[in-house]
Amino acid sequence: MKIAMIGTGYVGLVSGVCFSDFGHEVVCVDKDPAKVEKLRAGAVPIYEPGLEALMARNVAAGRLSFTLDLAEAVKGAEAVFIAVGTPTRRGDGHADLRYVMAAAEEIGAALEDYAVIVTKSTVPVGTNRKVAEAVARTAGDKAFDVASNPEFLREGAAIDDFMRPDRVVIGVESARAQKVMADLYRPLSLRDFPVVYTNLESAEMIKYAANAFLATKITFINEIAALCERVGADVKAVSKGIGMDGRIGPKFLHAGPGYGGSCFPKDTKALARIGQEHAVPMQITETVIRVNEEIKHRMIAKIEDQLDGVLRDKTIAVFGVTFKPDTDDMRDAPALTIVPALVGAGARVRVVDPQGRHEGEALLPGVKWVESAYGAAQGADLVVVLTEWNEFRALDLGKLARKMAHPRMADLRNVYAREEVLEAGFVSYEGVGR
């Protein structure tokens, strides 16, 4: 099948590359000439393990190409995916749909034969019907259908998530469109990965409900962690104990500095806004948003406590600033709240992150970027583990302690056990919920 993928951001690029690996002919479209040129040269503009090699393989096989010309990409395509950004709209928390609607109108104008217009972007409930109206405005008498196909890709594991999904969700309302979508995903259904067909609104809601629920799990265990600290419980034991209940499950029960990234902050805000617009307040989701912000500030207080309440002129080594490991994504990372607070209080902050510097240099002014954890810790008063990259999981703690002026650790991801840190020569250790 021929597919056009409009947008080469995280979702569009990963989806386009993976569809081409299924054997489909995929043309990825972007309006940025520099980005298209970079992709044509084989360079991936995002960090995602395995993506560069997979892209190169399918380009070499002639199944994957990149262009600025949307009309040419749409010509002959049986499915046209909209995978453009839907950032939070400034001021009201709603998803900004300008790019989605602009893409829909441009696709309509380019249609020559029947195609299914598939929304891959995360959009509020009711958007796909508006997409159909936008396409119809410019398509004339050309036949088309609209489908909703939300993505469930975890950054750092996106290729595996696409190739081995928990489920594929497809909102579709005609037999013809369903046949096209079934053919697209046939390589997965042949391996018995579940494909769920719904109407448009249900598919849109599944995406928001899933992300809000996962954000709620994270926020719940972070609240439990705060209580554990007061009553003498260990949140890691609590998480393990409740996660073994099949009704709860162990995933997303790791205490830390709060959720961030490109999806949870944006999608929880959008769901809360959708609820307000329909007079059905999403009270749990609204509380999750508020508590998640409070958790970030509680982490700042932990760091201050480790330094006896005085941050000015103290040297702090921060290990990791991306919102999670195995990505270069800094969007809504807890570091964007925590690190500026340290700098603003007069601390000298050194940062080490395997992939975060490219975005982080502009987002975190006033910090010093260092190449290694040991270099960052040289003469430091405190080490803060903020992102649990593998590089920070097996450090020589004795060596780390010897390099520091005052060996103290704020382990905001519970990577280490208190006993091993103190035995290695640290004078204090502070985790989360322990």
For residue 235, give the nearest of 246, 222, 219, 245 by alpha carbon: 222
Q: Which of 392, 258, 372, 370 is nearest to 325 (CA)?
A: 392
Phi and psi at 126, nearest 5°, equal 100, -10
Say whether 379 sits in a helix, a strand or coil: coil
From the number of C-beta atoms within 10 Å of its C-beta (0-12, 13-18, 19+), residue 394 rates as exposed
Element (H, E) at 297: helix 283-306
Pair of tokens at residue 182: 């079934």
Q: Give CA–CA dist 280/309, Å, rounded.
A: 43
Interatomic CA distance for residues 290 and 287, integer angstroms: 5
Residue 351 · residue 364 · CB < 8 Å: yes
Contact 282, 272 (CB under 8 A): yes
Max CA separation in the chain (angstroms): 75
Q: Which two structure tokens, joined as six digits, stand for 265?
A: 């902050």
Q: Which residues contact 216 (CB under 8 A, 6 or more apart)?
A: 284, 285, 288
Residues 6+ apart with CB under 8 A from 160: none
Indicate the SS3 state at residue 206. Answer: helix
Residue whose token pair is 């000298």: 348
SS3 percent helix, strand, coil of the chain, rounded to 5, is: 45, 15, 40
Contact 334, 353 (CB under 8 A): no
Total residue count of the chain as it appears in this document? 434
Contact 15, 152 (CB under 8 A): no
DSSP reduced 3-state for 235? helix
Give the 3-state secondary structure of residue 36: helix
Task: Give CA–CA dist 160/323, Å, rounded.
Answer: 20
Residues taking part in catalysis: 263
Task: Give me 302's structure tokens.
Answer: 């932990």
